[in-house]
Amino acid sequence: MSTVQPLSTPAQFTIKSPGNYIQQAGLVHQVGERIRPLVDHLRILTSPQAWRAVNPVLEESLNREGVRWQVEYLSGECTDATIARFRHNLLEQGAEGILAIGGGRVLDTAKAVNDALGDRQLIVLPTLAATCAAWSPLTIIYNEEGGHLDSRALNAMPALILVDSEIITRADVRYLRSGIVDALAKWVEFDPWQRHNPHHLALEVKVLAARQAYDTFLHWGEEAIVANEQQQVTPALEKVIEANIVLAGLANSVRGELNTPGLAHVIHDTLTHQPELHDWLHGEKVGFSLLLQSLVEYGQPNAQLLYLLKLYRSPLRLPALEGDRAARIAQIAADIRFPQKSLNGLPFAVTVETLHRALLATEAQDFAE
Protein backbone atom coordinates (compact mmCIF):
# COMPACT_ATOMS: atom_id res chain seq x y z
CA MET A 1 0.00 0.00 0.00
CA SER A 2 1.50 3.33 -1.09
CA THR A 3 1.42 6.37 1.11
CA VAL A 4 1.50 10.04 0.17
CA GLN A 5 4.64 11.69 1.43
CA PRO A 6 3.98 15.03 3.10
CA LEU A 7 5.69 18.08 1.67
CA SER A 8 8.62 19.31 3.69
CA THR A 9 7.05 22.78 3.98
CA PRO A 10 3.39 23.08 5.02
CA ALA A 11 1.10 25.09 2.74
CA GLN A 12 0.40 28.44 4.35
CA PHE A 13 -0.25 31.92 3.09
CA THR A 14 -2.21 35.10 3.66
CA ILE A 15 -3.94 37.42 1.20
CA LYS A 16 -4.76 41.02 2.03
CA SER A 17 -7.62 42.57 0.15
CA PRO A 18 -9.78 45.70 0.33
CA GLY A 19 -13.24 45.58 1.81
CA ASN A 20 -14.74 46.23 -1.61
CA TYR A 21 -13.57 47.06 -5.13
CA ILE A 22 -15.85 48.79 -7.63
CA GLN A 23 -14.86 49.65 -11.19
CA GLN A 24 -17.28 51.45 -13.48
CA ALA A 25 -17.37 54.23 -16.03
CA GLY A 26 -18.90 57.36 -14.46
CA LEU A 27 -18.47 56.06 -10.91
CA VAL A 28 -17.37 59.50 -9.66
CA HIS A 29 -21.04 60.55 -9.85
CA GLN A 30 -21.79 57.98 -7.13
CA VAL A 31 -18.93 58.70 -4.73
CA GLY A 32 -21.13 60.34 -2.12
CA GLU A 33 -23.67 57.52 -1.97
CA ARG A 34 -20.91 54.89 -1.93
CA ILE A 35 -19.05 56.61 0.94
CA ARG A 36 -22.00 57.77 3.06
CA PRO A 37 -22.73 54.31 4.60
CA LEU A 38 -19.12 54.18 5.81
CA VAL A 39 -18.44 57.72 7.08
CA ASP A 40 -19.94 61.18 7.00
CA HIS A 41 -16.81 63.22 7.80
CA LEU A 42 -13.79 63.02 5.49
CA ARG A 43 -10.35 64.42 5.05
CA ILE A 44 -9.46 64.28 1.38
CA LEU A 45 -5.85 63.91 0.28
CA THR A 46 -5.21 64.63 -3.38
CA SER A 47 -3.11 66.62 -5.83
CA PRO A 48 -4.24 69.70 -7.76
CA GLN A 49 -4.24 67.76 -11.03
CA ALA A 50 -6.21 64.82 -9.61
CA TRP A 51 -8.69 67.15 -7.90
CA ARG A 52 -9.38 68.84 -11.25
CA ALA A 53 -9.85 65.44 -12.88
CA VAL A 54 -12.77 64.47 -10.60
CA ASN A 55 -14.50 67.82 -10.16
CA PRO A 56 -16.97 69.47 -10.01
CA VAL A 57 -18.77 66.11 -10.08
CA LEU A 58 -17.18 64.65 -6.93
CA GLU A 59 -17.85 67.75 -4.81
CA GLU A 60 -21.47 67.75 -5.94
CA SER A 61 -21.83 64.05 -5.10
CA LEU A 62 -20.38 64.44 -1.59
CA ASN A 63 -22.46 67.53 -0.85
CA ARG A 64 -25.64 65.92 -2.16
CA GLU A 65 -25.22 63.07 0.34
CA GLY A 66 -24.38 65.38 3.25
CA VAL A 67 -20.79 64.18 3.60
CA ARG A 68 -18.59 66.74 5.35
CA TRP A 69 -15.09 67.12 3.95
CA GLN A 70 -11.90 69.15 3.88
CA VAL A 71 -9.27 68.84 1.16
CA GLU A 72 -5.48 68.77 1.50
CA TYR A 73 -3.04 68.80 -1.41
CA LEU A 74 0.04 66.61 -1.40
CA SER A 75 3.18 68.42 -2.45
CA GLY A 76 6.23 66.33 -3.21
CA GLU A 77 6.91 62.70 -2.42
CA CYS A 78 5.48 60.18 0.03
CA THR A 79 7.98 60.86 2.83
CA ASP A 80 7.87 60.27 6.57
CA ALA A 81 7.40 64.02 7.03
CA THR A 82 4.48 64.06 4.58
CA ILE A 83 2.84 61.13 6.36
CA ALA A 84 3.28 62.80 9.77
CA ARG A 85 1.83 66.07 8.48
CA PHE A 86 -1.27 64.46 6.99
CA ARG A 87 -1.82 62.41 10.14
CA HIS A 88 -1.61 65.55 12.29
CA ASN A 89 -4.08 67.41 10.07
CA LEU A 90 -6.49 64.48 10.01
CA LEU A 91 -6.52 64.20 13.80
CA GLU A 92 -6.88 67.95 14.19
CA GLN A 93 -9.89 67.93 11.89
CA GLY A 94 -11.40 64.94 13.68
CA ALA A 95 -12.39 63.23 10.44
CA GLU A 96 -13.42 59.61 10.73
CA GLY A 97 -12.51 58.74 7.17
CA ILE A 98 -9.87 59.37 4.51
CA LEU A 99 -10.56 59.77 0.82
CA ALA A 100 -7.37 59.53 -1.26
CA ILE A 101 -7.67 60.72 -4.85
CA GLY A 102 -4.75 60.55 -7.26
CA GLY A 103 -1.70 58.46 -8.09
CA GLY A 104 0.71 56.34 -6.09
CA ARG A 105 2.24 59.07 -3.91
CA VAL A 106 -1.17 60.23 -2.69
CA LEU A 107 -2.52 56.72 -2.16
CA ASP A 108 0.60 55.51 -0.34
CA THR A 109 0.57 58.50 2.02
CA ALA A 110 -3.07 57.91 2.88
CA LYS A 111 -2.53 54.16 3.33
CA ALA A 112 0.35 54.78 5.74
CA VAL A 113 -1.72 57.15 7.90
CA ASN A 114 -4.71 54.81 7.87
CA ASP A 115 -2.49 51.90 8.92
CA ALA A 116 -0.87 53.89 11.73
CA LEU A 117 -4.18 55.04 13.21
CA GLY A 118 -6.07 51.79 12.72
CA ASP A 119 -9.47 53.29 13.54
CA ARG A 120 -10.41 55.16 10.38
CA GLN A 121 -12.10 54.20 7.11
CA LEU A 122 -9.95 54.57 4.00
CA ILE A 123 -11.48 55.04 0.57
CA VAL A 124 -9.17 55.33 -2.42
CA LEU A 125 -10.02 56.68 -5.86
CA PRO A 126 -7.07 56.27 -8.25
CA THR A 127 -7.10 58.69 -11.18
CA LEU A 128 -4.38 56.70 -12.99
CA ALA A 129 -3.81 53.02 -13.70
CA ALA A 130 -0.04 53.51 -13.56
CA THR A 131 0.61 51.18 -10.58
CA CYS A 132 -1.25 48.78 -8.29
CA ALA A 133 -0.90 51.23 -5.37
CA ALA A 134 -4.68 51.31 -4.77
CA TRP A 135 -4.62 47.61 -3.83
CA SER A 136 -1.04 46.84 -2.82
CA PRO A 137 -0.56 46.31 0.95
CA LEU A 138 2.60 48.40 0.91
CA THR A 139 3.56 52.02 1.34
CA ILE A 140 6.68 53.05 -0.52
CA ILE A 141 8.69 55.68 1.36
CA TYR A 142 10.91 58.11 -0.57
CA ASN A 143 13.19 60.95 0.35
CA GLU A 144 12.46 64.52 -0.75
CA GLU A 145 14.44 63.97 -3.96
CA GLY A 146 12.39 60.90 -4.95
CA GLY A 147 14.91 58.25 -3.89
CA HIS A 148 13.49 55.00 -2.51
CA LEU A 149 14.06 54.49 1.23
CA ASP A 150 11.72 51.73 2.36
CA SER A 151 8.80 49.50 1.38
CA ARG A 152 6.58 49.07 4.44
CA ALA A 153 4.04 46.29 4.78
CA LEU A 154 0.60 47.42 5.96
CA ASN A 155 -1.98 45.67 8.10
CA ALA A 156 -4.98 47.90 7.34
CA MET A 157 -6.40 47.80 3.81
CA PRO A 158 -8.82 50.24 2.17
CA ALA A 159 -12.46 49.79 3.06
CA LEU A 160 -13.35 50.71 -0.50
CA ILE A 161 -11.56 51.17 -3.83
CA LEU A 162 -13.47 53.21 -6.41
CA VAL A 163 -12.14 53.11 -9.99
CA ASP A 164 -13.80 55.31 -12.59
CA SER A 165 -12.56 54.11 -15.98
CA GLU A 166 -13.73 57.34 -17.64
CA ILE A 167 -11.35 59.35 -15.46
CA ILE A 168 -8.46 56.99 -16.19
CA THR A 169 -9.04 57.15 -19.93
CA ARG A 170 -8.69 60.93 -19.83
CA ALA A 171 -5.18 60.66 -18.37
CA ASP A 172 -2.04 60.77 -20.50
CA VAL A 173 -1.62 57.35 -22.17
CA ARG A 174 1.96 57.27 -20.89
CA TYR A 175 0.58 56.38 -17.45
CA LEU A 176 -1.38 53.39 -18.75
CA ARG A 177 1.66 52.11 -20.66
CA SER A 178 3.75 52.47 -17.51
CA GLY A 179 1.13 50.64 -15.46
CA ILE A 180 1.03 47.77 -17.94
CA VAL A 181 4.80 47.30 -17.69
CA ASP A 182 4.69 47.48 -13.88
CA ALA A 183 1.94 44.85 -13.81
CA LEU A 184 3.45 42.46 -16.36
CA ALA A 185 6.63 42.61 -14.29
CA LYS A 186 4.93 40.59 -11.57
CA TRP A 187 4.90 37.40 -13.64
CA VAL A 188 8.42 37.94 -14.98
CA GLU A 189 9.64 38.43 -11.39
CA PHE A 190 7.65 35.72 -9.58
CA ASP A 191 7.81 32.91 -12.16
CA PRO A 192 11.53 32.15 -11.55
CA TRP A 193 10.80 31.86 -7.83
CA GLN A 194 8.00 29.38 -8.45
CA ARG A 195 10.05 27.31 -10.91
CA HIS A 196 12.92 27.08 -8.42
CA ASN A 197 10.65 26.48 -5.39
CA PRO A 198 7.79 24.16 -6.43
CA HIS A 199 5.03 23.01 -4.07
CA HIS A 200 4.59 26.38 -2.36
CA LEU A 201 0.93 27.33 -2.50
CA ALA A 202 1.54 31.05 -1.95
CA LEU A 203 3.91 31.20 -4.91
CA GLU A 204 1.46 29.28 -7.08
CA VAL A 205 -1.32 31.75 -6.27
CA LYS A 206 0.97 34.73 -6.87
CA VAL A 207 2.08 33.36 -10.22
CA LEU A 208 -1.48 32.54 -11.32
CA ALA A 209 -2.65 36.10 -10.66
CA ALA A 210 0.46 37.56 -12.26
CA ARG A 211 0.17 35.32 -15.32
CA GLN A 212 -3.46 36.31 -15.82
CA ALA A 213 -2.39 39.96 -15.88
CA TYR A 214 0.39 39.15 -18.35
CA ASP A 215 -2.02 37.29 -20.64
CA THR A 216 -4.46 40.19 -20.43
CA PHE A 217 -1.84 42.49 -21.91
CA LEU A 218 -1.02 40.01 -24.68
CA HIS A 219 -4.68 39.91 -25.72
CA TRP A 220 -5.99 43.39 -24.85
CA GLY A 221 -3.05 45.70 -24.25
CA GLU A 222 -2.76 47.31 -27.67
CA GLU A 223 -6.53 47.87 -27.92
CA ALA A 224 -6.53 49.47 -24.48
CA ILE A 225 -3.77 51.89 -25.48
CA VAL A 226 -5.78 52.96 -28.55
CA ALA A 227 -8.89 53.41 -26.38
CA ASN A 228 -6.92 55.58 -23.94
CA GLU A 229 -5.52 57.67 -26.79
CA GLN A 230 -9.07 58.21 -28.07
CA GLN A 231 -10.44 58.72 -24.53
CA GLN A 232 -12.96 55.94 -24.99
CA VAL A 233 -13.98 53.34 -22.40
CA THR A 234 -13.92 49.93 -24.09
CA PRO A 235 -13.89 46.31 -22.84
CA ALA A 236 -10.16 46.17 -23.59
CA LEU A 237 -9.49 49.26 -21.48
CA GLU A 238 -11.58 47.90 -18.59
CA LYS A 239 -9.68 44.60 -18.67
CA VAL A 240 -6.30 46.31 -18.65
CA ILE A 241 -7.27 48.60 -15.77
CA GLU A 242 -8.35 45.50 -13.83
CA ALA A 243 -5.04 43.81 -14.58
CA ASN A 244 -2.97 46.88 -13.64
CA ILE A 245 -4.71 47.41 -10.30
CA VAL A 246 -6.47 44.21 -9.20
CA LEU A 247 -4.40 41.35 -10.60
CA ALA A 248 -1.05 43.03 -9.98
CA GLY A 249 -2.23 44.13 -6.53
CA LEU A 250 -3.45 40.63 -5.74
CA ALA A 251 -0.12 39.11 -6.76
CA ASN A 252 1.60 41.58 -4.45
CA SER A 253 -0.82 40.79 -1.61
CA VAL A 254 -0.08 37.08 -1.27
CA ARG A 255 2.42 36.30 1.48
CA GLY A 256 3.77 32.84 2.19
CA GLU A 257 6.62 31.14 3.97
CA LEU A 258 9.18 32.39 1.42
CA ASN A 259 10.33 35.97 1.03
CA THR A 260 10.20 36.52 -2.74
CA PRO A 261 11.44 39.99 -3.71
CA GLY A 262 11.12 40.84 -7.38
CA LEU A 263 14.55 41.50 -8.87
CA ALA A 264 13.33 44.17 -11.28
CA HIS A 265 11.75 46.15 -8.45
CA VAL A 266 14.93 45.85 -6.36
CA ILE A 267 16.87 47.28 -9.31
CA HIS A 268 14.21 49.97 -9.69
CA ASP A 269 14.79 51.09 -6.11
CA THR A 270 18.41 51.90 -6.90
CA LEU A 271 17.47 53.67 -10.13
CA THR A 272 15.27 56.10 -8.16
CA HIS A 273 18.45 57.56 -6.66
CA GLN A 274 19.80 58.57 -10.07
CA PRO A 275 18.82 62.24 -10.64
CA GLU A 276 18.80 61.79 -14.40
CA LEU A 277 15.98 59.24 -14.14
CA HIS A 278 13.58 61.29 -12.02
CA ASP A 279 11.42 62.06 -15.05
CA TRP A 280 10.96 58.34 -15.72
CA LEU A 281 7.68 56.98 -14.34
CA HIS A 282 7.71 54.05 -11.91
CA GLY A 283 6.78 51.52 -14.58
CA GLU A 284 9.40 52.92 -16.96
CA LYS A 285 12.13 52.31 -14.41
CA VAL A 286 10.68 48.84 -13.81
CA GLY A 287 10.70 48.17 -17.56
CA PHE A 288 14.39 48.94 -17.88
CA SER A 289 14.97 46.81 -14.78
CA LEU A 290 13.08 43.91 -16.41
CA LEU A 291 15.48 44.10 -19.34
CA LEU A 292 18.35 43.87 -16.86
CA GLN A 293 16.73 40.91 -15.08
CA SER A 294 16.35 39.10 -18.40
CA LEU A 295 20.02 39.72 -19.21
CA VAL A 296 21.07 38.46 -15.77
CA GLU A 297 18.89 35.35 -16.10
CA TYR A 298 19.47 34.38 -19.73
CA GLY A 299 22.42 36.44 -20.96
CA GLN A 300 20.13 37.97 -23.56
CA PRO A 301 16.63 39.45 -23.51
CA ASN A 302 13.65 37.15 -23.55
CA ALA A 303 12.14 37.76 -27.01
CA GLN A 304 8.52 38.15 -25.90
CA LEU A 305 9.46 40.40 -23.00
CA LEU A 306 11.57 42.61 -25.27
CA TYR A 307 8.66 42.85 -27.72
CA LEU A 308 6.34 44.01 -24.91
CA LEU A 309 8.85 46.51 -23.54
CA LYS A 310 9.18 48.05 -27.00
CA LEU A 311 5.41 47.98 -27.56
CA TYR A 312 4.78 49.91 -24.34
CA ARG A 313 7.72 52.27 -24.96
CA SER A 314 9.80 51.31 -21.97
CA PRO A 315 13.27 52.93 -21.89
CA LEU A 316 15.89 50.34 -22.86
CA ARG A 317 19.02 52.37 -22.20
CA LEU A 318 20.10 54.75 -19.46
CA PRO A 319 20.00 58.45 -20.38
CA ALA A 320 23.01 60.73 -20.31
CA LEU A 321 24.67 60.59 -16.88
CA GLU A 322 26.76 63.27 -15.22
CA GLY A 323 30.43 62.53 -14.71
CA ASP A 324 32.25 59.42 -15.87
CA ARG A 325 29.53 57.21 -17.42
CA ALA A 326 31.42 53.93 -16.94
CA ALA A 327 32.04 54.72 -13.27
CA ARG A 328 28.40 55.69 -12.72
CA ILE A 329 27.19 52.45 -14.27
CA ALA A 330 29.57 50.41 -12.15
CA GLN A 331 28.33 52.24 -9.06
CA ILE A 332 24.68 51.57 -9.93
CA ALA A 333 25.47 47.84 -10.14
CA ALA A 334 27.27 47.98 -6.79
CA ASP A 335 24.39 49.84 -5.13
CA ILE A 336 21.70 47.28 -6.03
CA ARG A 337 20.89 45.48 -2.79
CA PHE A 338 19.12 42.20 -3.40
CA PRO A 339 18.31 40.62 0.01
CA GLN A 340 21.11 38.26 0.99
CA LYS A 341 18.74 35.73 2.55
CA SER A 342 16.84 35.40 -0.74
CA LEU A 343 19.79 34.88 -3.09
CA ASN A 344 19.48 31.08 -3.13
CA GLY A 345 15.78 31.20 -3.97
CA LEU A 346 16.31 32.11 -7.62
CA PRO A 347 17.56 29.84 -10.42
CA PHE A 348 20.22 32.35 -11.46
CA ALA A 349 23.00 34.27 -9.75
CA VAL A 350 22.40 37.86 -8.70
CA THR A 351 25.78 39.45 -8.03
CA VAL A 352 27.45 42.78 -8.62
CA GLU A 353 29.25 41.16 -11.55
CA THR A 354 26.11 39.77 -13.26
CA LEU A 355 24.28 43.06 -12.76
CA HIS A 356 27.23 45.04 -14.11
CA ARG A 357 27.43 42.79 -17.18
CA ALA A 358 23.73 43.32 -17.81
CA LEU A 359 24.09 47.10 -17.59
CA LEU A 360 27.06 47.02 -19.95
CA ALA A 361 25.03 44.93 -22.42
CA THR A 362 22.41 47.69 -22.60
CA GLU A 363 25.26 50.09 -23.40
CA ALA A 364 26.77 47.89 -26.09
CA GLN A 365 23.60 46.91 -27.94
CA ASP A 366 20.63 48.98 -29.06
CA PHE A 367 17.74 46.79 -27.94
CA ALA A 368 15.24 49.35 -29.26
CA GLU A 369 16.14 48.46 -32.87
Residue 319 scores a pLDDT above 70: yes
What is the spatial distance between Cα 171 and Cα 24, in angstroms, rounded to a whole number?
Answer: 16
Q: What's the pTM? A: 0.95
Of 132, 107, 151, the C-alpha closest to 259 is 151
Contact (Cβ atoms closer than 8 angstroms) between residue 210 and residue 186:
yes
Residue 250 scores a pLDDT above 50: yes
Report the relative pairing of strands 138-142 and 148-153 from DSSP bridges: antiparallel
State the chain's mean pLDDT as an integer.
95
For 159-176, the pLDDT digits (tens) are 999 999 999 999 999 999
Residue 58 scores a pLDDT above 80: yes
At residue 368, the pLDDT reads 85
- Residues 6+ away with beta carbon under 8 Å from 354: 296, 348
Q: What's the rounded mean pLDDT across residues 284-290?
A: 98
* H/E run at residue 186: helix 173-196
What is the spatial distance between Cα 181 and Cα 313, in angstroms, rounded to a whole number?
Answer: 9
Express as a percent the part of the chain with pLDDT over 70: 97
Residue 5 scores a pLDDT above 80: no
Residue 183 scores a pLDDT above 90: yes
* Residue 9 pLDDT class (50, 70, 90 cuts): low
What is the spatial distance between Cα 300 and Cα 97, in angstroms, rounded to a whole number?
Answer: 49
For 128-143, the pLDDT digits (tens) are 999 999 999 999 999 9
Residue 1 scores a pLDDT above 50: no
Q: What's the rounded mean pLDDT across residues 245-251?
A: 97
Contact (Cβ atoms closer than 8 angstroms) between residue 122 and residue 110:
yes
Q: What's the rounded mean pLDDT across residues 214-226?
A: 98
* H/E run at residue 74: none
At residue 13, the pLDDT reads 84
Of 304, 280, 288, the C-alpha closest to 336 is 288
Q: What's the rounded mean pLDDT across residues 51-71?
A: 98
Contact (Cβ atoms closer than 8 angstroms) between residue 240 and residue 224:
yes
Q: What's the rounded mean pLDDT across residues 249-255?
A: 95
At residue 3, the pLDDT reads 47
* Residue 8 pLDDT class (50, 70, 90 cuts): low
Query: Cα–chain-centroid distance for residue 345?
Result: 23
Contact (Cβ atoms closer than 8 angstroms) between residue 161 and residue 22:
yes
At residue 10, the pLDDT reads 64
At residue 75, the pLDDT reads 87
At residue 333, the pLDDT reads 98
